[in-house]
Chains A and B, each alone.
Chain A
Amino acid sequence: MIGDYTYSEFFSILAMQGFAGLILFSVFVLMALGLAIIFGQMGVINMAHGEFMILGAYVTYLCSTLVTTYLPAFFPYYFFLAMALAFVASFSLGVLVEWVLIRHLYRRPLDTLLATWGLSLVLQQFYRSVFGAREVGVTLPDWMMGSVSVSETIEVPLNGLFVMALTMIIALGVYFIMYRSSWGKRVRAVVQNRVMAGAVGINTKMVDRMTFGLGCGIAGIAGSAFTMIGSTGPTAGQLYIVDTFLVVVFGGAGSLIGTIASAFTISQAQSTMEFFLSGSMAKVLTLLTVVGILMLRPQGLFSLNIRR
């Protein structure tokens, strides 16, 4: 006996909590990857990141309604189409925003914060005017709901598995784009030395625009995936923004590996504490720990030395 539980119960606690932590980890990675690219690689603070996620969620919602009405046979698979469209929508909006706003502000990183905060207000009101103030329900195909029983007490939620798989695919995709493609090389070259990169013939403006678009596009996919586990409403994006920034900063800006490591640390800490403490205190303690560690090690877990 351990506390109130028998050994077998204790084992299932460990298994299920471990799994809950992994789901949370995937969620954090999905949220943070797009931001890590934008913030880490470009130094731009995108406060509207949450709203880009919600754009993805609304695209998914539209897809689910349209497909149910016009193409019910396709319904079980619509989610993949929805994610692709979510990426396209967020990517396009991201490119547009970069062109209209961000490119004028590269020299003033703190100002991007204010401008994108303004953008987030505009987007929120836009969603509210178009989709209404209420949350919308996204209907999911049956195969994505429910769970797999591993043993009598251990059950694994399917949508959790789906999010984990998706996260892995996207993380690998980002890795290949950033570290194995010639485009990624250009991005990294621009990050390390913008002037030199320009001098050797890299179109730095185009690289910036595409990087920003990619970050936003990933946010769109994340938002699309989150319709499985969260709510879709005009202000839902705000719920994610602090967590997302902390994950990125804690990992050390500029390091995608760092982002993943920090998402892992924070998610495990939070889900463990949530199990042993009540919800609110767990959240406070997690945030406090993160802030505390950041005060001791301000550059985050992993950091690159970038010449500014």
Chain B
Amino acid sequence: MSDETPSSSMNISRRSLLAGAASIPLLAAFNSVASAQGLPTAVVNTTGLAVTDTTVKVGILHSVTGTMAISETGSVQAEKLAIEQINATGGILGRKIEVIQEDGGSDWPTFAEKAKKLLVEDKVASVFGCWTSASRKAVLPVFEQYNGMLYYPTFYEGLEESPNVIYTGQEATQQILAGIDWVVKEKGAKSFYLLGSDYIWPRTSNKIARKHIEKKGLEVVGEEYYPLGHTQFNSVINKIKLKKPDVIYAIIVGGSNVAFYKQLKAAGIDMTKEKPLLLTISVTEDEILGIGGENMVGAYASMKYFQSLPNDNNKAFVAAFKKMWGDNIVIGDVTQAAYLGPWLWKAAVEKAGSFDIDKVRTASPGIELTTAPEGYVKIHENHHLWSKTRIGHARADGQYDLVYETKDLMEPNPFPEGYQ
């Protein structure tokens, strides 16, 4: 009922706000303030969230310390940027967003504990956070029990669809299938060597990849996993050399990445020769910083966003991001997905005309964002995003050149039939 209430004028202002948010903040601010008048707190907040007449509290929950801080820093920065931009354009329903930041400390129970604090003590209206699957799995029961809303930015293995989570990154099939189709069609790949760090995301992803490859009648010549943090890849590189696959499909994460690509190059596998070709779904521009562009040049990555995307939304986003966090910073796929979180939440709140979690949830499916740096995205019924899959070709300076993007948006399919 309540999601039908916003007047048509509100709808128009929301649209224009979304369209203008990144490029013409002033006009958008004017619209938003105008539309937000006359929505008393008692109406927009019936469940006792931390919403006042002028402010609304949200949580940011990432690791600032510990091993995962390396990866999660970018997400924190993106979320803060989005929130600052939203505040600069008049906030949400006329209310400024106040951030309560908590540190998960790369420790999963700490994540659960802090999530509970944010929901129970701070009564935040929404949480942007988590990075690893393990941290998400740890907080999930908390969000379901206390009915919170989590915007989760990372590309991940799927197999999940919670009413309390909006997944702004790609799930495995979105990221994988188009990439494999592309190497098969454009590069004539016939055989694959699957490689990953030993945990659920690489294993599930490789499982989907293997099914897809075998469905096409092609061959997987090897599949292997190494413990997180492993730094010696000479043996597996030897195996790859012997098996001579057309494609090395690598899903290695963290510090192991650096070791793997450096050793690959040292062993005389020049990725620019594409024999074998290397396709990864785990190395974003962030990771290349540590690996070094010269060690990564020639590799292909299959994901939904690259910093070099040429559209106007992205140019504005990259400029704003660098203005806020410094010129040397790079932006990877997850960082962009984290940036979407606050905007998607804002759109849902404004569509619902309320901060109430249940109303935001009902309003979420169908929300579209035309200002997303990656282009156009839309929330699916299953709380994942429709998005395009893109292939990037790594340059020596640590950026990717866009070489291919799917024509249509890929439908998110977290429980892929026949791929399990």
Contacts and interface: CB of A to CB of B under 8 A. Distances in A.
A229 B227 contact: no
B229 interface: yes
B266 interface: yes
Interface stretch (A89-97, A233-241, A288-296): A233-241
Contact of A231 (B237, B242, B255, B293): B255
Contacts of B230: 279, 283
A24 B232 contact: yes
Residue among B236, B254, B267 having the largest count of chain A Cβ atoms under 10 Å: B267
B217 interface: no
Nearest to A132: B73
A144 to B, nearest CB: 9
Interface in B33-62: none
B376 interface: no
Contact of A274 (B229, B235, B241, B294): B235
A109 interface: no
B225 interface: yes
A155 B264 CA distance: 12
Interface in A233-291: 233-236, 238-240, 270-271, 274-275, 278-280, 283
A197 interface: no
Nearest to B229: A239
B265 interface: yes
Contact of A147 (B225, B268, B293): B268
Interface stretch (B63-71, B136-144, B148-156, B177-185): B63-71
B292 A20 contact: no
A138 B292 contact: yes
Given A135-B258, A157-B263, A158-B266, A233 B70 contact: yes
Nearest to B244: A153
A276 B234 CA distance: 13
Interface stretch (B164-172, B283-291, B407-415): B283-291
B211 interface: no
A184 interface: no
A236 B232 CA distance: 14
How many B residues are at the interface, by size bracket?
35 or more
B311 interface: no
Nearest to B328: A132
A230 B268 contact: no
B238 A13 contact: yes
B207 interface: no
A227 to B, nearest CB: 9
A23 B288 CA distance: 25
Nearest to B296: A137
Contact of B235 (A230, A231, A275, A280): A275
Contacts of B65: 125, 128
Interface string A68-84: 00000000000000000
Contacts of B292: 137-139
Given A17-B235, A20-B235, A233-B255, A147 B226 contact: no
A170 to B, nearest CB: 19
28 contacts: A5-B242, A9-B242, A19-B234, A20-B234, A27-B232, A134-B70, A135-B290, A135-B291, A137-B292, A137-B295, A145-B265, A145-B294, A146-B265, A146-B266, A157-B267, A230-B255, A230-B262, A231-B258, A232-B258, A233-B255, A234-B70, A235-B66, A239-B255, A270-B232, A271-B232, A275-B239, A279-B224, A283-B230
List the 3 shortest-distance A-B pairs measured between CB atoms, nearest first: A135-B290, A231-B258, A147-B268
Interface of A: 5, 9, 12-13, 16-17, 19-20, 23-24, 27, 125, 128, 132-139, 145-147, 149, 153, 155, 157-160, 226, 228-236, 238-240, 270-271, 274-275, 278-280, 283
Given A134-B73, A137-B288, A233-B290, 9 more contacts: A128-B65, A134-B289, A137-B258, A155-B241, A229-B259, A231-B231, A234-B69, A235-B70, A280-B226
